[in-house]
Amino acid sequence: MKLKAIEATPESFAEYGQVIEPTDDGLGFGPDDAQLDLTNGTPRFYILHIENRPFNFSMITHHARVTQCLGSVDRQPWYLAVAKPSIVDDEHKTGIDKSESVLRSKSGHLFVPPCVDEIKVFKISGVKFVKLNKGTWHAGPLFRESARDFYNLELTNTNVVDHTTYELGKENGVPFEIED
pLDDT tens digits for range 116-172:
999 999 999 999 999 999 999 999 999 999 999 999 999 999 999 999 999 997 877
**In angstroms, rounded to a whole number, what is the distance separating the alpha carbons of residues 19 and 171?**
30
Task: State residue 175's pLDDT score.
Answer: 87
- Contact yes or no for 180/2 (Cβ under 8 A): no
Write the CA distances from 171 to 64, 65, 101, 147, 174, integer angstroms.
Answer: 21, 24, 12, 29, 8
Q: Is the pLDDT of residue 75 over 60?
A: yes
Task: State residue 174's pLDDT score.
Answer: 77
Q: Is the pLDDT of residue 98 over 90?
A: no
